[in-house]
Every structure is written in structure tokens, then in C-alpha cells.
Structure 1
Amino acid sequence: MRIGFVVNPYAGMGGKIGLKGTDDIEEALRRGGEFVAPGRAREFCRDLDADILTCSSSMGGDYTEGKIVYEPMGRTTADDTRRACRKFLAEGVDAIVFVGGDGTARDIYEVVGMSVPILGIPAGVKMYSGVFAVNPPAGREIVRGFMRGDAEVVEREIMDASERAYINDEFVLRFFGSARSLSLKYLLQNAKRIFGSENDAKREIASFLSLICRRGTFVLGPGGTLKEVGKQMGVDKTLLGVDVIENGVLVAKDANEREILDAISGKHARILVSPLGSQGCVFGRGNQQISSNVIKRVGVENIIIVSTPHKLMHTPVLFVDTGDNELNRNIAGVKQVIVGFGLAARKEIIS
């Protein structure tokens, strides 16, 4: 089996600093964005014995000893990703593995289509497509399974949220097409789903949580259910951002990692988070501002997970991808998920 391997080195830089993507690399660098993809690429490549074709330097060669078949000139762009994939196809690869987010997946899909399976190692801010492994080690296991003949070739959706709408706190999810991907057990995430109107369920959950949030410090993740919590408290909580409420007052709106840490410094805080619909990610997709540093500061025992019953029923498994494997394992296990006014269901979280 020959595997094409390409890295978008700038993917995910906007996550912790509160950008809704990394389309504007200069802005991410100006705000102090940290490189995420190189670490993810190294983690995926660790102890992976495979026939890999890749690109030079930060697009692949820095992380693996695979054969270099494409060399970018200067700062890499989406065009480099497309050219690399054309080269992979010309070399007859059996699958393409990439490190990046939905934008990278879309760039690759434009070239590859359904010709060979593609597998994403999650490193972006937005990862709503169904071609991503739940984390880098899972991606490594899927590739090993593919080489053994154990992995299943499946059809998955390529999705992306409009970054322009995202910046304006509006969620517009677009479908670009169906790609072939690789699946092994629960190691490949589902694409995000937007469920129909669940307003009554959201209001019931929010009514319960708004009572809890009147006293104390709470970090509220993105999503419609948690926005409804803010609405019932009279707080202008963002739909797609992370906000901090203290004693019923909004003290940090659309906060980045640093602003969250400052807002909860010296306080007993709790995190309210809702998993992505159908996909099941609790941490690591669209809420990277709630970083491993924030979670450790708050404490795993102070995480409150909420979901409407319908969404939870259509989510096979929950998972976490904080970028810290030890923390992922500490969060994993069977947890309670608030599904109504004083009601909870038990659901397994995998790491």
C-alpha cells in the first residue's frame, strides 16, 4: 500500500486565539496563533511503518522519512496542496492522508474526488466533514488497519462552514460532495448534522442550567442549547464562540484561551459544553479556546455536558481530542449528559 501524506502547516492556528478559522494566516500570526499541525503530524507518523509519499519540509518531510515527490516554493498555499495531490495520484497511491481541517479536505477533494480514499488527521479549527479520524493516534491505527486489509472504505461527506458567516456568529454549513474515506471501529468521526427544530428541548435544558449558572463562574461553549441558556439569563451569549458568565453576568464574550484563563483565575469555575450533533466531539472541534490548559485549570470533575435527547440518540459515541492524550484519557469514560430539566443520560466518551 502506498500512502500520500500532505500537511497544511497553518491549519488550526486560529483555534485557541478565538478565530473561527485560519483562512487569514497573517491575522492568526499577528494575534499570536500557535502552530498546531506540525505536532499533530509528528504524532500521527510516530511508529508508523508505511510506504509514504510526501512533500518537502513543513508539508510532510519534516515529520516522516517518506519519499519526497513534491516541493513547495515559499509559504505553502492551497494550490500546493492540490498540486501535491495530483502528484500523489500520478504516482499511484492507494490513499491520501492529510493533516488539516475542512478547508484542506475541500482542497484535496477538488483534485481527488472519489478516485482514492482520503483520511484527515484533525488539526483545523472547523472539522465538520466525515473524513477525519477522531485524533492522530486513531488515524495511525486506521492506516495500519488499511494496510492489513481490516479498514472499511466508506463514503463520507465533505462539509465546511462559511467562515464569513462564522465570523458574524452565524452558522452556515455547506455540503461540497461525497468522498471515499477509511473507517475502523469508532476511530473515524461522523460528519456534523444539523437536526430539525428542537426548541422545546433546548428551552427545557436551558431553564434548568440557567438556575445553576446564577451563582458562580461558568465557561459556556458554542451551540444553540448554550446560547438559549444565555437568553434565559438575559445574557447576550454568542452562538459560535466561548463566553464566561460570573454570577449571572457576562464577563468575557467570544473569548480566546487567554481571556478565558484570565476570567477564571483564582475562581472555582465549571465548563458547560455540548457535543457536535451526530459527530460527537466534546472538546477539539470548533471550541479549541477551551484548551487543555483551561480544562486542567477548571478540573475534569467540573465539566458539565449537555445535549438534547434527539441529538444524543443520533450520536453513536462521544469523543474528546484536546491535543493532550493524558487529559483525553482522564475525561474518557461513562459520563452523565444533561438532557432535560433535572434529567440526565449516561453516555460513553472515548479518547
Structure 2
Amino acid sequence: MKNFKLGLVINPIAGIGGSVALKGSDGDGVAEQAKALGAIAKANARAALALEILLPYQANITIYTVAGEMGEQTAKALGFATQVIYQPDSEQTTALDTEQAVQALMAQEVDLLLFAGGDGTARNVCHIVGDRFPVLGIPAGCKIHSGVYAITPKAAGRVVELMVTNQLVSLTDADVMDIDESLFRQGVVKAKRFGEMQVPSELRYIQAVKSGGKESDELVLQDIAADIIARMDDELFIIGSGSTTAFLMEELALSNTLLGVDAVCQQELISNDLTEPELWQLLKQYPQDKVKLVITLIGGQGHIFGRGNQQLSPRVIRAIGKDNILVIATKTKLNALQARPLIADTGDSELDIDLSGYIAVITGYNDQVLYPVASPQ
């Protein structure tokens, strides 16, 4: 087995705004605002999950990376042979640091560029790499619309493992997509294609480009909404993000946060766009048997936790309880997964396992199907 040269770039603030309802980390001052609200950066922890898959092959891997939190710390902490090829000018890293680091890694002729971030990070990488060099994304941001990301951090590690062990892996062109975060914070989805990059393709592990927009079959959505509304009594209903849950809120004539979490009781709005700490405090006011969580899946990908709803932290999910989670989706959306399971990627491996198994998905009025949920692989 030859020595594998793995390039690694981590955007250390990717997704930092997710748990405090800021919808991402893009924009001047957003990361500082998120930290002031108590948000904790998780990109390095997500990258570590991918690299841990490669620990059995340490002797055959050298990681070429960036100083500090942009890769060096995580690679060295796991015991990999590490070469630092770029040093940021300050502790507060920028998009320019990502682009200059990628340029330096390409000059080292690494076998694969592995990067952790969200769609903004993918755009930075694409600006330098284009479609000339194999890359793979570790999902760590709030917005993961691009097809250059593995479905989970561990899945990214599995793809690299295939390459390190010299198994045949096809290269596929995948779209780099992003949305305007400033508009998204106002509830407007405006996505744009920014290019494409080459990714090692293994269908079990690489995600589809996110399906956006509202469901076209309004009659089915009305039936799903009617089912949930009929269940509403004196319980607290936590409404997760997504276009399907947004339709439910429209049927209730309540304002909705497209990429956020809202609270409803007795069909009246309690609060919009709750942060994780706000959710935690709200849950303390209700016994567990008086709380329901309504979530949907990301179209084309199947995530029910871990994408776009980071306010739903492991402690929040545990406080609600698995039996109080209501998953809603049309059968069309489920069929589009082509038998792939739903994914619970909460960042807590024990909780992911607890959430695994079959779950009833509400697909219409008094209509449910059993569908498998899997933890990240």
C-alpha cells in the first residue's frame, strides 16, 4: 500500500450559527455574534469523526494541512503524520485563508483534498480547484445543498478509506450550490449553482444535491397538515424546519421560520425561531408526555437530524423523547430516496443509535408508513 497524501482544510467556524438560530456562519460579524450567544464551533469535531475511520491506516497516510484549528490540531490529536503547509495570518480565519490553503495543497500534489464546512466553504474551494482536482466535503455547516459532500462525516471517512485501500472509486462531477443567507434569514430561498468539482463517487456515502422548494402535491400536504392539527390539544408542539413543516404552519395561519424552530400550543404561536438554549428552557416548562416534535426530511438526502435543525441538540432531543417525534413527508419524497434510510446525525453517536430502527412517517390523514432510520456510517 503506497503512502496516501491527504489534504485537509477545516473551516473552524462552519455552522457555528446553527444552534443559535442565525442560519449559518456567512457574513460579517455572524461568527462573533454566534459565539456571544453561546454557540460552540463543531467543525473540528465533525472532521475528527471522518479521520477516525482512517486510524487503522495511519502508517500509510500523511496529512497535509493548515496550522491550528484549520486542520493541524485535529490531525495531530489523532496521531497522524502531519505536514503544515499554510499558516493563517490571525486566529480569526477567513474565506481567503481557505482559498490560499487550497492553493498550497494543490501545489503539494495531494491525492485528495478533504475539507470540512458548508456550502460557503465549498464555494471557496471550487473558486481555486474548479473541476481539475478530486475533492470531498465533510458536512459541518448549516447549509449543505452541494453534491460535493458525503452524507455524514463518517461516510466521508469511508470514501477516503476506499481510496487508501486502493479500491476502485469513480470520479463524478458534482454541483456546488449555495443560497443567499441574508435572504434565507428572511425566509426566502434563492439558490444558485456556482460550478462543479470532481468527487470520488460511492452512492452509499455521497449525498444528492438537495431538493429545494415546496412540494407540488398540495392535496397530500393538506392531508398531512390535517393529521397533525387533529392531534393538537394542550400539548407543546415544536415545529422543525423545512418546506413540508412550513406548509403545516401555513395551514395553521401562523408565521413560520423556514430554517428554524417554532413552538405552538393549542394551535397558537408560542415563539418563532427559537435558539437551542431557548428551546431547552421552554421544555422545562412541560412534562415529557405533553411535548411533540414535528420534523421532516431533507429532500434527496434523507436527513431528519443534523442538517438545518441544529437547534435540536442531543439534549433537546433526549428531553423530548423518541416516542414524541412525529416525522412528516409525502410518499413521493420517501420514494425519491430509492430505499435509502433516513439519517439521524445528531453529533451524539449513542443518541444516533437510539434513534435508529423503523419509525412511523405520517404521509397523509390517518396514513402512515414504516421507514428505516440509520445512524451515520
TM-score where L is the length of structure 2: 0.89
Aligned residue type for 1:325: S
Aligned residue type for 2:159: I
Aligned residue type for 2:223: E
Contact 1:169 1:241 in 2 (8 A): no
The equivalent of 1:319 in structure 2 is 343
Q: Secondary structure at the match of 1:319?
A: strand
> Aligned runs of 1:5-154 on 2, under 5 Å?
5-23=8-26, 24-46=30-52, 47=55, 49=58, 50-65=61-76, 66-74=82-90, 75-148=92-165, 149-154=167-172
**Larger CA deviation: 28-37 vs 99-108:** 28-37
Report the Cα distance in structure 1 between the residues aligned to 2:125 and 2:140, rounded to whole angstroms: 15
Report the CA distance between 1:262 and its aligned residue.
1.7
The equivalent of 2:222 in structure 1 is 203
Report the CA distance between 1:12 and its aligned residue.
1.4
Identity across the alignment (%): 32
Contact 1:146 1:152 in 2 (8 A): no
Q: Secondary structure at the match of 1:116?
A: coil
Report the Cα distance in structure 2 between the residues aligned to 1:137 and 1:334, rounded to whole angstroms: 21
Q: Secondary structure at the match of 1:98?
A: strand
The equivalent of 2:287 in structure 1 is 267
Report the CA distance between 1:185 and its aligned residue.
4.8
Q: 1:213 aligns with which of 207, 226, 232?
A: 232
Report the Cα distance in structure 2 between the residues aligned to 1:213 and 1:178, rounded to whole angstroms: 45
The equivalent of 2:199 in structure 1 is 181
Contact 2:151 2:301 in 1 (8 A): no
Contact 1:131 1:182 in 2 (8 A): no
Report the Cα distance in structure 2 between the residues aligned to 1:88 and 1:305, rounded to whole angstroms: 42
Report the Cα distance in structure 1 between the residues aligned to 2:67 and 2:173, rounded to whole angstroms: 30
Report the Cα distance in structure 1 between the residues aligned to 2:283 and 2:270, rounded to whole angstroms: 10
> Aligned runs of 1:238-249 on 2, under 5 Å?
238-249=257-268
Report the Cα distance in structure 1 between the residues aligned to 2:130 and 2:141, rounded to whole angstroms: 21
Report the Cα distance in structure 2 between the residues aligned to 1:278 and 1:213, rounded to whole angstroms: 29
Aligned residue type for 1:308: T
Report the Cα distance in structure 2 between the residues aligned to 1:150 and 1:271, rounded to whole angstroms: 42
Q: Secondary structure at the match of 2:258?
A: coil
Q: Secondary structure at the match of 1:63?
A: helix
Q: 1:225 aligns with which of 214, 228, 244?
A: 244
The answer for unaligned runs of 5 or more in structure 1 is none
Report the CA distance between 1:198 and its aligned residue.
2.4
Q: Secondary structure at the match of 1:64?
A: helix
Report the Cα distance in structure 1 between the residues aligned to 2:16 and 2:371, rounded to whole angstroms: 31
Contact 1:126 1:285 in 2 (8 A): yes
Report the Cα distance in structure 2 between the residues aligned to 1:150 and 1:219, rounded to whole angstroms: 45
Report the Cα distance in structure 1 between the residues aligned to 2:255 and 2:287, rounded to whole angstroms: 22
Aligned residue type for 1:243: D
Report the Cα distance in structure 1 between the residues aligned to 2:100 and 2:109, rounded to whole angstroms: 15
Aligned residue type for 2:117: G
The verdict on how the C-alpha distance between 1:333 and 1:184 changes in structure 2, with shifts beyond 3 A counting, is: farther
Report the CA distance between 1:105 and its aligned residue.
0.8
Residue by residue over 1:272-296, the C-alpha shift from the partner in whole angstroms, topping out at 9 and shown as x without a partner, is 1010111111111111111111101
The equivalent of 2:365 in structure 1 is 341
The equivalent of 2:79 in structure 1 is none
> Aligned runs of 1:249-328 on 2, under 5 Å?
249-265=268-284, 266-268=286-288, 269-316=291-338, 317=340, 318-328=342-352
Residue by residue over 1:127-181, the C-alpha shift from the partner in whole angstroms, topping out at 9 and shown as x without a partner, is 1112222222222111111222243322222111210111101112222122211
Contact 1:217 1:244 in 2 (8 A): yes
The answer for unaligned runs of 5 or more in structure 2 is 77-81
Aligned residue type for 2:367: L
Q: Secondary structure at the match of 1:138?
A: helix
**Larger CA deviation: 270-279 vs 245-254:** 245-254
Equivalences, count:
351
TM-score where L is the length of structure 1: 0.95
Q: Secondary structure at the match of 2:187?
A: coil
Contact 2:246 2:257 in 1 (8 A): yes
